[in-house]
Structure 1
């Protein structure tokens, strides 16, 4: 019998697949760590594609004869459809099975990667990237949902630590990986290998996922709130579209879409409340924000943190490549200390989050603020020729701090979420992070160019201004973390009934997944 079939037969409760509704004790799936490794590799690959293509835009523009505004859609189009798919895909995974959605998304991602690599024109490439982003959006919420489904207690913290490290590394090393691939695949069509490299990795991951991923995990009823999906998609598109068009003047031309998007999202929230009142199945349950402890503030913290965390890499790329004449690979290597610090700290944080909770996030954000502030000061004081080496210690400090932010925040945000809603909750959290990333990738390079023009091409000052915005985002996240830490301490002082580290809380019972699951009261 294949390993997954045997595990599914012996350990049905590990995946929450109890059709009869009978409550059973959770027992760990023997294949859970192997399954996690597959989902993390796929998650790394899909998140890496957000930034890896940025270093190839000049080559793409030359080879395909495209304008700068058109070729920018190769990056922004992927990010746009990625963000739009997250919440609906999370709900579909909850309703129809996470394994099924994961395999469909992975197959689509591989096919679209091959299509992008073979693209004969920029229009074909953009279409392939839009479809690839949708496929990646189907994958992302299943990653965090599988962790919710397969792990409990301290193991869940360690699993989220690895997931947080994956998010941090994929964001930070995108320019490095892109520069390395372009260096190895020299020539006019070298950029195509940025997409082709996904194909063999994706095929192997698909075969392993067939063997290792649990077959259960459906939330029960297979109904999808179509009206909610349309409202959320339209609202998110209205907010994100001006941001992804920022480099071609989208903010000045399309600013009115922000108001339209806010109105549509307000209607969406009201509609979802109505669906809940009728005992329906919303695409995103509002009670995740209003009644699930830690979810709302954790999503807000992730949003403001990703404003600076995502946008700063474009500022560094502009500073080093345009200002100092670095190659894409040299530019990526210059920011490697942040990636190394973040990856190491995220794994450690996953082991400590059950014991220290929000204190880790507060400590990490303090490190980010100090590290990025020191980086800005160094850029202003040292000669530009020495900047790459001089900022390494400060970036390492910021990276270590960043590693104590992402994975603990994911754990603290999702720890009280019922497993049956893990997909939509994870999709909502990652959508919030995508919103923050979209704001950052539009605002920080825009500010960089404004300061550059105002100072007569003073690149260190322009880079320091971008870093300043990142520091402000980290300070806003720090304020939210302190608020949540105080709430956590009040709950702990109030007694075990409200403890956050594993104890029972009001409104919980043993659900069909065999662990504590919220009972939402209408």
Structure 2
């Protein structure tokens, strides 16, 4: 079906079928969101029961997000080439099978491999849903359809850590931490069956071939950077770790050269090179890398601090992080009440300042209370961090994409979302390694957590400075972007 035909069909597609298809897509989004969050809470228990080094804790998150970052760049194009419904079903089946692999893994290596496979199939599954929504719904219902993502993602972000903690503590059927992955089986199978029944078929006419050499180069560059950051500490930072990180810079440069050459030859590049000549977009990528690195790395370290340092159970750790999640909901709600439209990038600046203030309050609380700090005492700082996070994230994608030309939007959106995931992997690697390094040097858990918090403040300061290079407002005619 061509794009024109699909758009014409959307107006006559049954109302109930459109909304049933939307809930299938939302179920896939929830699976991804939960799997991005649950290992942060469950990682200490997994390591205790499964064995493995401290780097296992980092790889559980970084393996997933790194695979997702690389895969998202090509995931949407696979739907254009082979059909969105087909690729959604393949992605959902693969994600569910990978969840089973994680749930029965008997070694750290097999579990990390399962997480990587999850990320790759998630990157195939998720982009298809957004494309199908635009084809299924008429213009007057499109805003309402995209509006459903907000509440669903909010519930997932708030409930994910708590659910993970409860599942680990409950030890249902003797599965322990494995249930955080096995719970995907009924959700995934239901999504596959419902997708086969409800989702419309769509394929973009005239779609171009995949840029496989580009995928290989960017994958290699990302791996050369992340691997030594996680494994280097345990190996004593030998020479090969620094060689690998230097090589990643070279391979990233080679990737840029190859993409420019491919574009000049008239072939479709993986990432449109003209995007990097736009100051606002390039600055937005760096700001996003700094912001999401700090956010995801902070989440991992806070979970380690509460469980290993304070002796919290996984459920208690999930509940301790709840004020941040609820603050994020409040911040996002404030932004959507009209602040985003009025303040533009100013809202991002306010958000980073509030988030930094919350981090400072958290560091001060940990310093004053010491090892006897309670979850309630941590709540004010975490709530401020969450509010600032919601205020910053709400306008981020629209502001960064404001200076992008219409024909560049697809490549820009995929690149920006990929940077979000890459930032998660980088933050998990850098802040996790810093935290473990400090502990190995004899620092106490509280002091190590405080240093990590101040690094997060530094990343927020960098994000704040870079916002001045972004457009003041999003384009009025631009659609809200989903990440």
TM-score range, shorter-chain basis? 0.7 to 0.9
Per-residue CA shift, 1:411-433, capped at 9, x if unaligned?
33346767876654333112212
Tell me the SS of whatever aligns to 2:89: helix
Taking structure 1 as reference, are residues 323 and 128 closer, same or farther at Cα in structure 2, changes over 3 Å only? closer
Residue range with higher mean Cα deviation, 356-365 or 398-407: 356-365
Higher helix share: 2
Give the 5 Å matches for 1:373-522: 373-414=360-401, 424-452=411-439, 457-486=443-472, 488=473, 500-502=475-477
Q: Distance in 2 between matches of 1:478 and 1:153?
A: 35
Match of 2:104 among 118, 135, 139: 118
Q: Distance in 1 between matches of 2:47 and 2:427?
A: 24
Match of 1:215 among 198, 201, 216: 201
Residue range with higher mean Cα deviation, 233-242 or 49-58: 49-58
TM score, norm. by length of structure 2: 0.84
Tell me the SS of whatever aligns to 2:101: helix
Residue range with higher mean Cα deviation, 113-122 or 142-151: 142-151
CA contact (8 A) 1:161 1:346 kept: no
Mark the runs of 5 or more structure 2 residues left unpaired by the alignment.
none
Aligned twin of 2:217: 231
Per-residue CA shift, 1:319-351, capped at 9, x if unaligned?
211221111111121111110111243255346
Tell me the SS of whatever aligns to 2:303: helix
Please state how far the C-alpha of 1:399 moved relative to its aligned partner. 0.7
CA contact (8 A) 2:103 2:181 kept: yes
Give the 5 Å matches for 1:2-401: 17-18=3-4, 35-61=21-47, 63-64=49-50, 66-69=52-55, 73-142=59-128, 145=131, 163=149, 174-185=160-171, 189-216=175-202, 218=204, 220-245=206-231, 248-249=234-235, 252=238, 253-290=240-277, 294-350=280-336, 352=338, 353-401=340-388
TM score, norm. by length of structure 1: 0.78
CA contact (8 A) 2:55 2:230 kept: no
Per-residue CA shift, 1:145-195, capped at 9, x if unaligned?
556767899987887776577667756755432211112225763222111
CA contact (8 A) 2:325 2:386 kept: yes
CA contact (8 A) 1:141 1:430 kept: no
Q: Distance in 1 between matches of 2:52 and 2:96?
A: 25
Residue range with higher mean Cα deviation, 380-389 or 461-470: 380-389
Please state how far the C-alpha of 1:304 moved relative to its aligned partner. 0.8
CA contact (8 A) 1:240 1:435 kept: no
Please state how far the C-alpha of 1:43 moved relative to its aligned partner. 2.2
CA contact (8 A) 1:106 1:202 kept: yes
Q: Distance in 1 between matches of 2:342 and 2:159?
A: 30
Q: Distance in 2 between matches of 1:302 and 1:148?
A: 26
Q: Distance in 1 between matches of 2:201 and 2:82?
A: 11
What is the number of equivalent residue pairs in this alignment? 475
Please state how far the C-alpha of 1:104 moved relative to its aligned partner. 1.7
Q: Distance in 2 between matches of 1:438 and 1:228?
A: 20
Taking structure 1 as reference, are residues 283 and 357 closer, same or farther at Cα in structure 2, changes over 3 Å only? same
Q: Distance in 1 between matches of 2:119 and 2:66?
A: 7
Q: Distance in 2 between matches of 1:62 and 1:466?
A: 23
Taking structure 1 as reference, are residues 221 and 308 closer, same or farther at Cα in structure 2, changes over 3 Å only? same
Taking structure 1 as reference, are residues 62 and 101 closer, same or farther at Cα in structure 2, changes over 3 Å only? same
Taking structure 1 as reference, are residues 403 and 161 closer, same or farther at Cα in structure 2, changes over 3 Å only? farther
CA contact (8 A) 1:164 1:403 kept: no
CA contact (8 A) 1:172 1:313 kept: no
RMSD after superposition:
3.7
Please state how far the C-alpha of 1:59 moved relative to its aligned partner. 4.4
Tell me the SS of whatever aligns to 1:221: coil
Please state how far the C-alpha of 1:469 moved relative to its aligned partner. 1.0
Q: Distance in 1 between matches of 2:141 and 2:470?
A: 23
Per-residue CA shift, 1:442-496, capped at 9, x if unaligned?
2223333444455x5433322121111111111211122233255x4xxxxxxxx
Tell me the SS of whatever aligns to 2:202: coil
Q: Distance in 2 between matches of 1:147 and 1:381?
A: 50
Taking structure 1 as reference, are residues 248 and 55 closer, same or farther at Cα in structure 2, changes over 3 Å only? farther
CA contact (8 A) 2:44 2:304 kept: no
Taking structure 1 as reference, are residues 450 and 60 closer, same or farther at Cα in structure 2, changes over 3 Å only? closer
Residue range with higher mean Cα deviation, 28-37 or 366-375: 28-37
Q: Distance in 1 between matches of 2:167 and 2:410?
A: 33
CA contact (8 A) 1:219 1:421 kept: no
CA contact (8 A) 1:378 1:387 kept: no
Mark the runs of 5 or more structure 1 residues left unpaired by the alignment.
1-11, 489-498, 504-514, 516-522
Tell me the SS of whatever aligns to 1:178: helix
Taking structure 1 as reference, are residues 72 and 375 closer, same or farther at Cα in structure 2, changes over 3 Å only? closer
CA contact (8 A) 1:48 1:170 kept: yes
Q: Distance in 2 between matches of 1:289 and 1:481?
A: 17
